[in-house]
Amino acid sequence: MRDVNTISGIHVLRTMHSTKKRSIPRIQNSTYLDLYMLDKEKERLLKEGERLALRSTVIKKRLEEINLEINKLQEAETVVKASSGKISSLGHSFTERNGIKKEWKKMPLNY
C-alpha cells in the first residue's frame, strides 16, 4: 500500500512561502520579517540535515549488524548441512528438512 512517503517528489513540493507568493501585496517594511523567517528556515534545515546524518549512520550500523548475522547463520547452516551429510551416511534415520529427526512434543492436559 502506498503512503505519502512512497510518492516520489512529494518532499520537494513548493509552498506559498517558498515560491515567494503572497496574498497581500508586499510592504517595504517587511524585509526584517523576511530575514527572520529565512533565518528560522535555515536553522530548521540545518537541524534536519544533522538528524538525517545521524539517522544515516544508525542505518549503516544496523545494516552491518544484519550482514554479520546473515554471515553467521549461513556459516552455521553450512556446518549443519555438512555434519548431517556425514551422520546420515552412518545409517541413522533423519528427515531431509534439516537433517535431524524431530519428535512430537507431548504435554499433559488436565481438566
Give 31 or 89, the one with higher predicted confidence.
31
| Phi, psi angle pair for 96, to nearest 5° | -85, -10
pLDDT band for position 92 (50/70/90)? very low
Number of Cβ atoms within 10 Å of the Cβ of 81:
11
Whole-angstrom distance, CA of residue 34 vs CA of residue 20: 10
**For the residues 64-80, what does the mean pLDDT come to?**
93
pLDDT band for position 21 (50/70/90)? low
* pTM for the structure as a whole: 0.48
- Residue 4's contacts (CB-CB under 8 Å, 6 or more residues apart) are 10
pLDDT the model gives residue 84:
75
pLDDT band for position 90 (50/70/90)? very low
Q: How many CA atoms lie within 13 A of 108 on its CB side?
A: 2
Summarised one tens digit per residue, pLDDT across range 73-85 is 999 999 888 887 6
